[in-house]
Amino acid sequence: MQGPDFLSRSVRYSFFVICALAALISLVVLLATGHGLFWFLPLAALTGLGIYDIYQPRHAILRNYPILGHMRFFFEYIRPEIRQYFVEGDLEAEPFSRFQRSVVYQRAKGVPDVRPFGTKLDVGAADYEWVNHSVQTTSIDSHDFRIWIGGSPDEPNPGKSPCTQPYDASVLNISAMSFGALSANAILAMNKGARDGSFAHDTGEGGISRYHRKHGGDLIWEIGSGYFGCRDENGAFSPERFAEQAIDPQVKMIEIKISQGAKPGHGGVLPGAKVTAEIAAARGVPEGVDCVSPSSHSAFSTPMELMQFIVRLRELSGGKPVGFKLCIGHVWEWFSMVKAMLESDITPDFIVVDGAEGGTGAAPVELADHVGLPVQEGLHLVNNTLIGVGLRHRIKIGAAGKIITGFGLARMFALGADWCNSGRAFMMAVGCIQAQICHTGFCPTGVTTQDPVRQRALVVADKAPRVTQYHANTLNALRELLQSAGLTHPDELTPYHIVRRISDSRIRLMAAVMKSMRPNAILDDLENQQRIFRLYWPLASAHSFAPRMSMAGEAPLDPSQEQRVHKGGSRASPEQIARVLHTLHAPHPEPQTSVFPEQAGDPEYVPQDASSVPDVWTDSGAEDMAATGEEDAAVPEDKQ
């Protein structure tokens, strides 16, 4: 037993011992001959590192494998790059495959994106999908497919306080990404690309920065629970500050963010040390002070109050389209919003369905992986619900969640979307290489960093045309797909055009997998609709997001039968579900730990007080952009 133990120990310390002996020999040679300093210094440094490794308390691997253990950390550090460049297959999506990224890069650069030798996809695999083509193809003049949001100039939407400034929108737009999450140069490139391509740029909940305004591209102003850009000193919604920005002609629509796919139901705190002068100006918060984004809104707490808030924003903005974005969670909460629309006769001009697979914002692992409804199911539910209550013609639906190609757009349109938003695709168009370190500030291409040196790598004059070209080429791919199917506009796509393989011997139309709702069916024939509607529609209330307890016409559940009903496998009724949701639990013990969760070290630059922000933070790096001409200047003249 001594042999293997001796061998194990010798391997563990062998490199350290070799370095120490070599350092000693080189020292003797140096003292004897005066030569060998070149060898002695690195060997002495390695020996010192080995001694430190043995006695340091943090890393067990280094205590057992001094010097040699650092190789593990090195290879672990470069593992994502090694996998992406040498190991990853073309179709492995984590989260986007090499094939998908290549399509974006090719279309953004305007190089051919055709594929020789046939498809790489396994057409016999389950979940493979395709579009049925027609023998009577069509010819579509332009790829620039557009829709009206908020009614149309000739026909306003019905209902109370309708929109008076409908927006002529592209069917593909830039999804919500805030300044702060993205660099100044990324915002500049995207907005200029959106202006040149005549499509919209969603600001994200971080407010409208000067970089959003520079090139004048159409903006969708997203308002989150922090009310950044329209808040008072206490963080509450400020009608006066909202109106000041909302009447700007560049702002085309107002979007209330109820939840987002990347981290639904989760707020956030931007530490004061990261609240730079520019971020503070865009968000309307004090410099150097913690910036809190609550997990829910303070301007409304019930579905009816949400409808009133929509009317208020519409009036304050001068009649511009107002809607909301959400990732579907509790189904009865979504139904309660719809009931509030029916009761108040107030409808949003649009609803953006954000899928759980969305992810431009960094999020806790559990929320990113296991919270929220994916876009396919969420979009299908929202579309069917609005059809079932007779409101679909008044509300446009947007969809977001890993939409990157023309076929991805076609799937969403077939499921009921009127337009689509994409975030990560446009990030790739301006240079993102999917390094997946967006939250660290060390983005290698300058897309998601506030480091003034790193973001200089992103040259607006070069990247803005790529944003425009990616948009144009992707819609052109959609145009060719529609022509092949014998259609003339994305709004003609239905679930009957998409086919899905169920197994190696069975295929089904998407219409059979994702069944459509008959108009007004929820209101006049609820008992014969899909179970999700029969169960959760009665639970919803227009006056509360909480599930209702009593259902008219149904006897209360006998408590003695409740356990048997649910554990025996019998289908529960709405009343039974409500009882379970309202079950009172025994009180829990008070928290005892004094430990505060920490995941980040101290920032490199820390202000001394709330009014002191380090100079290095007040420079976004945009001023150093290597662009030429007044049109492509990174900042206004007064800042230059």
DSSP-assigned letters across all residues of 177-198 = --BTTB-HHHHHHHHHHHHHHT
> Rounded to an integer, what distance in angstroms lies between the CA atom of residue 244 and that of residue 407?
40
Q: How confident is the model at residue 614, as a pLDDT?
A: 47
**258-272 b/e (C-beta count within 10 Å ≥ 16 → b):** bbbbbbbebebebeb
Burial of 402 (0-12, 13-18, 19+ CB in 10 A): buried
Which two three-digit tokens encode residue 286? 């004090």
Closest CA to 284 of 232, 237, 248, 247: 232
Which two three-digit tokens encode residue 438? 């967006």
Q: How confident is the model at residue 627, as a pLDDT?
A: 44
> What residues contact residue 425 under an 8 Å CB cut-off, 6+ apart?
104, 403, 404, 470, 474
Q: How confident is the model at residue 118, as a pLDDT?
A: 86
Question: Which single residue is written with the structure tokens 């947007």?
Answer: 398
Question: Which single residue is written with the structure tokens 């409208």?
Answer: 208
How far lies 364's CA from each of 359, 502, 524, in Å? 11, 33, 43
> What residues contact residue 638 under an 8 Å CB cut-off, 6+ apart?
none
C-beta separation of 161 from 311 below 8 A: yes
DSSP-assigned letters across all residues of 347-369 = --SEEEEE-TT--SS---HHHHH
DSSP-assigned letters across all residues of 479-502 = HHHHHHTT-SSGGG--GGGEEEEE
Q: How confident is the model at residue 9, as a pLDDT?
A: 62
Eight-state DSSP code of residue 269: E
C-beta separation of 301 from 336 below 8 A: no
**324: three-class secondary structure by DSSP:** strand
> What residues contact residue 549 under an 8 Å CB cut-off, 6+ apart?
578, 579, 582
Is the peptide bond preceding residue 66 cis, with omega within 30 degrees of 0?
no
Neighbours of 366 (CB within 10 A): 10
> Rounded to an integer, what distance in angstroms lies between the CA atom of residue 309 and that of residue 257?
13
Which two three-digit tokens encode residue 118? 């046939």
Stretch (H or E) spanning 498: strand 498-503
Q: How confident is the model at residue 611, as a pLDDT?
A: 43
Give Dmax (Cα) for the chain: 103
Which two three-digit tokens encode residue 44? 């002495």
Q: Residue 32 region, left (φ>0) first, then alpha (ψ -120 to 50), else beta?
A: alpha
**220: three-class secondary structure by DSSP:** strand
With a cut of 50, list the residues of the chain below it in pLDDT.
Answer: 1, 555-569, 600-614, 616-640
Closest CA to 150 of 316, 15, 342, 351: 351
Which two three-digit tokens encode residue 75? 């290879």
CA of residue 566 relative to chain centroid, distance:
36
C-beta separation of 428 from 181 below 8 A: no
Instruction: Write down the mean pLDDT value for the chain.
Output: 85
Which two three-digit tokens encode residue 548? 């209702």
Q: How confident is the model at residue 609, as a pLDDT?
A: 43
Stretch (H or E) spanning 2: helix 2-33
Closest CA to 200 of 218, 182, 180, 178: 218
> What residues contact residue 560 under an 8 Å CB cut-off, 6+ apart?
none
Which two three-digit tokens encode residue 65? 């494998």
Stretch (H or E) spanning 354: strand 350-354
User: Which tens digit of pLDDT belongs to each residue from 567-601?
Assistant: 444 567 777 777 777 666 667 677 766 666 665 44
C-beta separation of 407 from 131 below 8 A: yes
Q: How confident is the model at residue 636, as a pLDDT?
A: 42
Q: How confident is the model at residue 391, as a pLDDT?
A: 97
pTM: predicted TM-score of the whole model, two decimal places: 0.82
Which two three-digit tokens encode residue 179? 């300044």
C-beta separation of 383 from 426 below 8 A: no
Which two three-digit tokens encode residue 316? 């304050």
User: Which tens digit of pLDDT belongs to each residue from 425-451?
Assistant: 999 999 999 888 887 888 899 998 888
C-beta separation of 499 from 130 below 8 A: yes
Question: Which single residue is written with the structure tokens 């908020």?
Answer: 150
Question: Which single residue is written with the structure tokens 């308002």?
Answer: 223
Q: How confident is the model at residue 7, as a pLDDT?
A: 54
CA dihedral of residues 576, 577, 579, 584 (deg, nearest 10): 140
Q: How confident is the model at residue 549, as a pLDDT?
A: 75
